[in-house]
Structures are given as C-alpha cells and as structure tokens.
Chains A and B, each alone.
Chain A
Amino acid sequence: MGMFGGAYNTIAFDANKCDGCGDCMTACATAKTGTVDQSRSRIQIVGSADDGFELALCRQCADPKCVTVCPAAALTKNYASGVIDWNGDKCVDCLLCTVGCAYAGIALDAGTGHVAKCDTCDGAPACVPACPHDALTYVTTSRIYNEVGDWEDLFAPGLAGCQGCNTELLMRHTLRRVGPETVLATPPGCVPGMGSVGFNGTTGTKIPVFHPLLTNTAAMLAGIKRQYKRVGREVNALAIAGDGGASDVGFQSLSGAAERNEQILFMVVDNEGYMNTGMQRSSCTPYGAWTSTTPIGKGSGGMPAQGKTQDAKNLPLIMVNHRCEYVATASTAYMEDLYDKLDKAIQASKRGFAYLHVYSPCTTGWRFPTDQNMEVARKAVETNFVMLWEYDRTDGLRFTRPVDDPLPVTEYLRAMGRFRHLSPDQISHIQSKVVENLAFVKQMAHRQSA
C-alpha cells in the first residue's frame, strides 16, 4: 500500500506571524495561473486582523479522503513525494473531491472550470519565499525520518525512563547514527537509570556498554579506545553522560581526556541537574531554578529561598578552550542541526577529542507536561537562553541557528514549573544573563573567525 511508509516535506504555517498581506496568494496565482487573481490561488489565507489569520491549503493527507471519493482515479497519493497528484486527463469535473475534503484543500478554480490543489510546486513552493514575514516555511526534516528509520535501533525497546523523556529520544537517535561498531560508556545518571546498562545480567543496548564511575568516565573510555587501537580494531568510543557527571565530579577526567586529545566522542545530556537521583542542583543548573537542593520557601537568616542563587557553568565554552577537534551545542528540537553535528563529531572523534553538548529538557525535574518536551527545547533556543553553535580549530566558533529576533526569556521560563516562583528581579537577572551570554559567544565567534 505504501501507506505510512515515509515522511514528507511540508509547507508549515505560523499563524502568529501572518498579517494577511496575501503575497503568498499572489505568488501562487502567478505561478499556477499566470494571473494575480488571489481567488485562484491554491493557498487561501482566511480570517481577519481581529480574529487572526488562518490557512486553507491541501494538507497532502496520508490517508486522503479526496482520493477515496474520486470516481475517475484522477487523484492519487504519490508515495514518493507525498503530494496528492491531480491528473487533468482523467478528471471529469464532478467536484466530489471538494465534498470529500473537510479542509477546503481542493476547490473549483473558476478560471478553468476544473478543481485545483497545491502540488508544492514540485518541491519548491512559490508561496514560501513570497511571504515577507516567514509565516510560511517549507519543512524538509522528513529526510531524517526516512533515512534514520532504516537504521537499526540499538537501544532496548522497553526502558525505565520517565514518560516523555527527551533523553530516550537522544539515546535512540545517537546510537542509530553511530551504529553497531561502537563501545558505549554511561556513567551514573539518567542514561543507565533508564536501562542502558540493563537488568539482571543483560544490557539495555545492542552494543557493548559499561558503567564507569562518575569521576572516571572519560579516562576509562580513553583506555578502552586505546586498547582497541592496539589490537587493530576500528570502533567508535562514545560516552553519554549527564551534566552533573561531566561538569562536576567528572570534570577532571573529561578535561584530561580533552587535553590529551583522546579519540573519543563525549556527549553530555544537559538536563541541568542530577535528575536521576532526585533532582539535585548541578553546576549546570541555571540561576533561579528550583531543585530539591535549591528549594523555594522561607529560607533562613531572613534570606528567603528562591531557587538556585548562582549562574550556570558554561561547560561547552570551557571545552572550546581545550581546543578540541570539535565542540558543538545541540537541541532535539532542531534535529537537522543535531544530525549535522553528530556526523561531524563522529568524524572528528576518529582524529581526536569531540564534544557534543545537548540541551535536554526534563519533564520530571523541570515540571512541564510530558508532551511539551519539544516545545520547551524550542523555546530555549528561540529566546537565546540556549545557543546552537559549533567549533573546530580551522573555522573557529560559529552559530548554526542564529536567532536574530529572540523572544523574551519569560516565554521560556513560563513553559515550566521550576521557574514559577521567580520574582521580577530574578527574571531581569536571567534576561540580562541571556544578553551577556549571547554577547560573549558572539565575541568568541567574531574573534575566532577573524
């Protein structure tokens, strides 16, 4: 049937950015009818400035009703492109497709007397670049799904993570990408906690995995990699460690391995605390955040407890100062960017030390609904609370997803419970830190590319 076999590129609409200018409709009408008659556009902006603008556009449904009600076999789902193709030679103008579609995605074009629908202009939709407000985007991340779907999942199918855990997603993607010729180190933390080291004498991964101490992860992994090299076997040496294990007690061995330029890939899953053991603060926990060791309450000595009182350590920037083969920050809300960096990090780890720092929201410890993981991760980037960049010795540091027009940091803070108590002073402190951090990273990017 071909059905549900793949993912497809799609035209995405952000209603908040649309001002109803209609440029997309003009562009579509021009491309498809040679006129500027907006009524003949296949993308229709509806609504008003008061009620907000919305979209009537073919959704290229996976299970399309228009196709099932077409008596003439004129509509077909193209399982290669994802587009529902209309065949004008077979169409009999009966309009039944317009009755079948509940979304006004296929409608009569009065100019021709035939129905018309979006065909995504064969993968280069004219409406998207015509939008002056970036309300329309052509999302091409389907490539990842289609490619990655064919790779072997090397993590256990069942696991003990929290519902909605972002780290599971990261584990599965990363292991699929590095592939079976890999040795994995997972120091104490959520990653072994959810099952990578296994239960009852079996491992939770389909590759060799070991459970070093918090303090010696990088050292042990470096030794194992050296032994494999000695016996002439090419393997990926991968550590997946929490921010606590990496930035606090594990930092000495991490820094040492980076300084010796060991050929390993060290990935930090930064959920900004010791989430596995009960949500204690780490040096990566941001200012103001509630943790079980930075509580909210009356406090003592007349000083109310208002969450963490120190700013977070910027571990990836510290790693840049080791002049590693490769250092990058990433987020699961930006998978194309993450994959790009994983590819580079794996290559770099064959030459020397590669470090990947992934910001990973924690539904349990940060207090947000389990279905909001991607939204929280995305808001972190959209506010510049988290910045996505990469570094190598040749090209220096550069932003990979620069955010020119960041949202106020409150958009990020209010997405979760751990910041619910913040006072206006604390919020302005966090906002000023965002500005300061951005300026600092920008300065490094400028200096190193100069």
Chain B
Amino acid sequence: MEQTKYLVVGSSHAALEAVTAIRMHDPEGSLTLLTRDPHLPYSPTVLPYVVSGRSAADGIFLRDEKFFADNRVQLKRGTALKSLHTGRNAAELADGSEIAYEKLLLATGASPAIPPIPGIDTVSYHVLRTLDDATKLNAAIKSSKQAVVLGAGLVGMHAAENLVKVGAGVTVVEMAKQLTDGYFDTVAAGLIEKAFTDNGATILTGSRVVKLAPSDIGVTLTLENGTTLEADLLLVATGVKPNMDFLANEAVDHDRGILVSDSMQTSVANVWAAGDCAQAKGFFTDSPVMNAILPSATEQGRIAGMAMAGDPGLKSYAGGVPLNTYHFFGRHAISVGSSRVPEGGEMVTRFDEASGRYLKAIFSADNRLTGIYGVNEFFDGGVMCQLILRRVDLSAVRERFLAEPMKVGREIMSRMWR
C-alpha cells in the first residue's frame, strides 16, 4: 500500500494553504495531494469569469506542476476519495487503491445542491462548480436566447450578468424574498436588482419552481403561481453541499459539514478538515457554522496545515467572519461581518440616491463594529475585519467612521496593528 506522512484531499484554497503551512514547518515529510479534478488547482470563485470569457480557462491555475515538484508534493489528479478507514489510517480511492496516511486533511470542498424539483431528472441543466462546468456553460451561453437561472446567490447572479451581456433574455428565479439573500441586505439587494432589471433581466424573487419538463427549445419551468417559463438554458445555482460522502460508516462527527475544533481537527485522530466541507466555529455564534467563503478556507487551511505539521506557531481559529465582495455591472458591493444587530446595539445606514452609494454599519452596545456593508462605497474589507476581530472600541470616532469608513479605518489600522 502506498504510504504518505501527509495526505491532503482537495486542491483549492484550503488544500493549497495547508500544503504551504506544512512545508514551512516540515520541508521533508512525504506529502500527497489528491484531487478528483483532472486539472491543476484553481478556485471555484473564478469560474463565473471563465463562463464570461474574461478569464482564459488555462490562465486561472493557482499553482503549476513545478510548484509541486519544488515542494516535493506528489500530485494525484483526477482521482476521488471514495471512503475513509480511519481505524487503520487509510484512504480508499475511486480506483480501488489505498493510501495509508499519518495525517489526513479533508479539504474536499462542496458540490452543487440540486433541489428535489419534480422532473429535474428529465431535463438537462447546467451547474457551476468545476472548470469543466464553466467551460460547458461558456460554450452554451453564446447560443442562448432565453435563459433561466435558478437561485440568486453570487454564482447565479454572476452567471445571469454574463448571460445578459451576451444578449440573452434572462430570468432569475429565487425562493427567498430578495436576491443575494444571506450576503447583502434588502437595500443592497434592491440596488443589485435594479442594475439587473435596468439591463433587461427579469428577477422573480419569492418564487418557487414546482415542475420541470423537457420542451422543444430545452426546458419548461412551472412556478408555484402557475405561470410557466421557457428556457433554452437552465442553470441550477441553488447553493452547495459539502463533499463528505466518503465518511459513510465512519465515526467522524458531522452535521451540515464536517465538525472541527479550533485547530481544524475532526472528532477522530489524525484527521483534519478545512474549507467549504468543514463546519467550524463562527465568530458571532457559539455553535459551529458553515462559512463557505474563500477567505475562511485559506485561514482554515493554514491552521490545519500548521496543526498537522506540529508548528508551534499555531494559533487557534478566531471563528469565521462572513466576508463577501461582489462586482455587478461595473459596481461593487462589499460585506464584512454579521447582519444581525446585537442586543442593545445599533444599525446605522446612509444612502445617496444620486450616486447609488450605500453604507450600513452595525455596532454592538459598547460601540464595537460587528458588521459593515457597502455598495459603491469602497472601504478596506481586511481592515474592517480586523476592527471586528479585535473588537476595537469606536466610541471616540463613530461619527467620523460613518462619514469616511475607509479613511478612519486606515487611521486606526496604522495606529493599532501596523
């Protein structure tokens, strides 16, 4: 049986950060990186830009073969993890072979969650999670005249914008009352929706598809209210679910994701998890949360790698802070932190209709920032995140901060953690 000291499963941000962290502390220990994807490592986040053609499909790779050779990492592409045997520290692969590990990282990411709509198995549809998905969708949108996007999360909205830009008629169907639910608030979502409708898209929020059936041009969708939509291209972007089927029959604790400690260790010995498949501590909650965003994946991957290599510099995970950025029709939206107003806290907003600039800041009762949202109002998200994580007292500068969050944030940064 093949043996390796470190086995990292997955090849995106969490996995790559773990490799970096392991090699910083242990330059020699044998390291194998296993991925189901046939390509070099890339980020799911870049895929909407492959769909639009802005990113060349061969220009998005985060590492090349030389990186793995230089770092003595054995790269196994196109081979999925089938099942784990934690009792004997072995990973069984899809091709039937096994790898014995000393330490294992599960950074297996997530896959599209396909809603159980009657008829969905009778129609053809697109999803967007892998490079191959993106390449297929890139080819399909060029000939699309009328497309339907199911789900108004960031993946769906990115794709919808690309379809609008190639001239297709686009309808976005979303179950929630607003689009980008969970990322941006009602006002921001309203600004995003207006940008889409101004550009000819149709947004149907609070709508549920109850039936899908094949049609001459592609798919007929029936909505809850009885209306039907015809689509020559259907994209299902209703969210993701963590990849953890390989845990079947194993005693690795999991909930919505693989449950991990503050050093990303799972409930069983020698196994860690990080990134979109992991359910880790949230900064704003006591219970573990899914925070499937890129910055959390890198941080969790770094922590897991340090823990696996025994790096004494390891610091425990501070907890996931929601961080999102979104570019739409030349405008941008940034959200940092929680949208929930803490008890005794306050939410302050300002909106300038002429410029479309919108800012929302949320403070705790003792004047600590807990969340900040902006549309067309640029601020340094990384600085804001530190203000939240460090629980910086903003009493003395609150009014100035609301007027000029970028400038005041930088002033505080330069004094506190330069």
Return chain B residues, CB-CB under 8 Å to A51. 411, 415
Any chain A CB within 8 A of the CB of B364? no
Which B-chain residue is minimally distant from A68 (CB atoms)?
B298
- Docked CA distance A54–B413 (Å): 9
Report the minimum CB–CB distance from A210 to chain B (whole Å).
40
> Would you give the 0/1 interface string for A31-74, flagging 1 where the beta carbon is closer than 8 Å to chain B?
00000000000001011000100111000000001001101110
Which of A54, A71, A89, A90 has the most C-beta atoms of chain B within 10 angstroms of its own C-beta? A71
Any chain A CB within 8 A of the CB of B124? no
Return chain B residues, CB-CB under 8 Å to A54. 411, 414-415, 418
Decide if B60 touches A98 in the complex (CB within 8 Å). no
Decide if B59 touches A56 in the complex (CB within 8 Å). no
Any chain A CB within 8 A of the CB of B395? no
- Docked CA distance A22–B81 (Å): 57
Return chain A residues, CB-CB under 8 Å to B152. none
Return chain B residues, CB-CB under 8 Å to A231. none
Question: How many residues of chain A get a CB closer than 8 Å to chain B's CBs?
Answer: 33
Decide if B295 touches A72 in the complex (CB within 8 Å). no
Decide if A108 touches B332 in the complex (CB within 8 Å). yes
- Docked CA distance A5–B40 (Å): 25
- Docked CA distance A227–B123 (Å): 96
Report the minimum CB–CB distance from A307 to chain B (whole Å).
39
> Would you give the 0/1 interface string for A387-425, flagging 1 where the beta carbon is closer than 8 Å to chain B?
000000000000000000000000000000000000000
User: Which B15-72 residues sit within 8 Å CB-CB of chain A?
Assistant: 16-17, 20, 23-24, 43-46, 49, 54-55, 59-62, 67, 70-71
Return chain B residues, CB-CB under 8 Å to A101. 380, 382
Any chain A CB within 8 A of the CB of B361? no
Return chain B residues, CB-CB under 8 Å to A1. 20, 23-24, 67, 70-71
User: Which A65-97 residues sit within 8 Å CB-CB of chain B?
Assistant: 65, 68-69, 71-73, 89-90, 92-96
Decide if B415 touches A94 in the complex (CB within 8 Å). no
- Docked CA distance A95–B45 (Å): 12
Which of A102, A103, A108 has the most C-beta atoms of chain B within 10 angstroms of its own C-beta? A102
Any chain A CB within 8 A of the CB of B325? yes
Decide if B323 touches A110 in the complex (CB within 8 Å). no
Any chain B CB within 8 A of the CB of A3? yes
Return chain A residues, CB-CB under 8 Å to B330. 113
Whether A95 contacts B411 in the complex (CB less than 8 A), given A65-B382, A71-B46, A101-B380, comes out as no
The 8 Å CB contact of B327, one of A71, A73, A94, A104, is: A94
- Docked CA distance A103–B417 (Å): 8
Return chain B residues, CB-CB under 8 Å to A55. 414, 418
Give the interface size class of chain B. 35 or more
Which of B330, B336, B414, B417 has the most C-beta atoms of chain A within 10 angstroms of its own C-beta? B414
Classify the secondary structure of B's interface with A: helix
The 8 Å CB contact of A100, one of B61, B332, B382, B409, is: B382
Any chain B CB within 8 A of the CB of A99? yes
Decide if B43 touches A46 in the complex (CB within 8 Å). no
Any chain B CB within 8 A of the CB of A320? no
Which A-chain residue is minimally distant from B20 (CB atoms)?
A1
Which B-chain residue is minimally distant from A95 (CB atoms)?
B325
Whether A98 contacts B46 in the complex (CB less than 8 A), given A68-B17, A108-B332, comes out as no
Decide if A96 touches B45 in the complex (CB within 8 Å). yes
Which A-chain residue is minimally distant from B418 (CB atoms)?
A54
- Docked CA distance A3–B17 (Å): 13
Return chain B residues, CB-CB under 8 Å to A107. 378, 380, 406
Whether A72 contacts B60 in the complex (CB less than 8 A), given A95-B334, A96-B45, A103-B413, comes out as yes
Any chain A CB within 8 A of the CB of B79? no
Any chain A CB within 8 A of the CB of B109? no
Return chain B residues, CB-CB under 8 Å to A103. 382-383, 413, 417-418
Decide if A99 touches B325 in the complex (CB within 8 Å). yes
Classify the secondary structure of A's interface with B: loop
- Docked CA distance A90–B43 (Å): 13
Which A-chain residue is minimally distant from B296 (CB atoms)?
A69
Any chain A CB within 8 A of the CB of B13? yes
Any chain A CB within 8 A of the CB of B385? yes
Decide if A95 touches B13 in the complex (CB within 8 Å). no
Decide if A92 touches B54 in the complex (CB within 8 Å). yes
Which A-chain residue is minimally distant from B408 (CB atoms)?
A46
Whether A44 contacts B323 in the complex (CB less than 8 A), given A69-B298, A71-B46, A99-B334, comes out as no
Decide if A102 touches B332 in the complex (CB within 8 Å). no
Decide if B55 touches A72 in the complex (CB within 8 Å). yes
- Docked CA distance A446–B23 (Å): 57
> Would you give the 0/1 interface string for B401-415, flagging 1 where the beta carbon is closer than 8 Å to chain A?
000001101110111
Which B-chain residue is minimally distant from A108 (CB atoms)?
B378
Decide if B61 touches A73 in the complex (CB within 8 Å). yes
- Docked CA distance A3–B21 (Å): 11
Any chain A CB within 8 A of the CB of B209? no
Report the minimum CB–CB distance from B387 to chain A (whole Å).
10
User: Which B364-418 residues sit within 8 Å CB-CB of chain A?
Assistant: 378, 380-383, 385-386, 406-407, 409-411, 413-415, 417-418
Which A-chain residue is minimally distant from B63 (CB atoms)?
A73
Return chain B residues, CB-CB under 8 Å to A90. 55, 59-60
- Docked CA distance A87–B336 (Å): 26
Which B-chain residue is minimally distant from A59 (CB atoms)?
B418
The interface of chain B, by Cβ under 8 A from chain A, is: 13, 16-17, 20, 23-24, 43-46, 49, 54-55, 59-62, 67, 70-71, 294-295, 298, 302, 323, 325, 327, 330, 332, 334, 336, 378, 380-383, 385-386, 406-407, 409-411, 413-415, 417-418
Can you sample 13 A-B contacts with CB below 8 Å? A1-B71, A3-B24, A54-B418, A56-B380, A72-B49, A72-B55, A90-B55, A94-B45, A95-B327, A96-B294, A99-B323, A99-B385, A101-B380
New A-B contacts (12) at CB < 8 Å, excluding given A72-B55, A98-B325: A1-B24, A46-B407, A46-B414, A47-B414, A56-B380, A56-B410, A68-B13, A68-B302, A71-B45, A90-B55, A92-B55, A98-B381
- CB-CB nearest 7 A-B residue pairs: A54-B414, A99-B381, A71-B43, A71-B45, A95-B325, A104-B380, A71-B46
